[in-house]
Amino acid sequence: MPAYEAPSLFFNAHIETICPALFRKIQLSPYQRERITTPDDDFLDLDWLKQGSNKLVIISHGLEGNSQRAYIQGMAKHFFSNGYDVLAWNYRGCSGEMNRQQRFYHSGATDDLKWVIDNASANYDSIYLVGFSLGGNLSLKYLGEGNVNSLVKKAVVFSVPLELHTSCLEILKSSNWMYHHRFLRSLKAKVIAKANQRTDLDISQLDQIKTLIQFDDHFTAPIHGFANAIDYYKKCSSLYFLSEIRIPTLIVNAKNDPFLSNDCYPELPAGSSVKMETPSHGGHVGFAQFGQNGLYWSELRAFDFIDHD
């Protein structure tokens, strides 16, 4: 299908990123919510659109997102309208209710994604993965780790920070202060909420944390078994798992994405199962377009790759 071209009104990467997030509205049938229990006695909230299909798309959201975000709902609506069942899952602590265990979610928590896929697999002949940003990294890492559910046939991911450390450095740049501030504020609020329900989370140093890297160093890494933030980034960056992916996979990273470092645009070897597309525009989880019955280019591209390629 044609490469993405940004509408003339979206004249820079920040507008391409912000406007879809703030102003897009999706008319979508209500989700059916299912709560599943995890092996460590926690829970995950899954939001379904079901119509008795034998094909399922599982959609993974970005940092501090959830199944209600417009980019998730837009993708869900397009696949559902074309005969697929859809599962938009919420990470731990992202569904509107704080999870029970000390752990949250993070960029490499593929155990939860695997649990979701395996729980859903009994009723389908084929499963497809779609991921955005952190959810894209999660999907790629799952595919590259091996032990992939045999029903998973293809994957499409957008705006993926393939290398977590250098992408964190990118978001720390002054031009990205609005995103950085928003993410950090949201994560701090989540830690405070968690500390209010548990006694094993020390937030006494929270006010001294000024960057996402410091947050990951103080909370994300130790809570989830990593030595520090750098260890977490190194072990969870999907860039280092791409060579092991064995199913057809498409990565779409816009060249003007304000969140992504140069490491997020790798040259892939001939014969790789992974295909990389780098349109000049799109911003971060943007890809807005007009005149397509409300559909965004990302939704058309994902469907085209999964249903036709």
Catalytic residues: 133, 257, 284
Residue 289: CB atoms within 10 A of its CB come to 18
How far is it, in rounded angstroms, from Cα 110 to Cα 115?
Answer: 8
Within 8 A by CB and 6+ apart from 164, the residues are: 107, 137, 232, 233, 236, 237
Strand arrangement of the beta sheet that strand 274-277 belongs to:
32-37, 43-49, 85-90, 55-60, 126-132, 152-158, 249-252, 274-277
How far is it, in rounded angstroms, from Cα 283 to Cα 257?
Answer: 4
How distant, in Å, are the alpha carbons of 34, 60, 300 from that of 171?
34, 21, 28
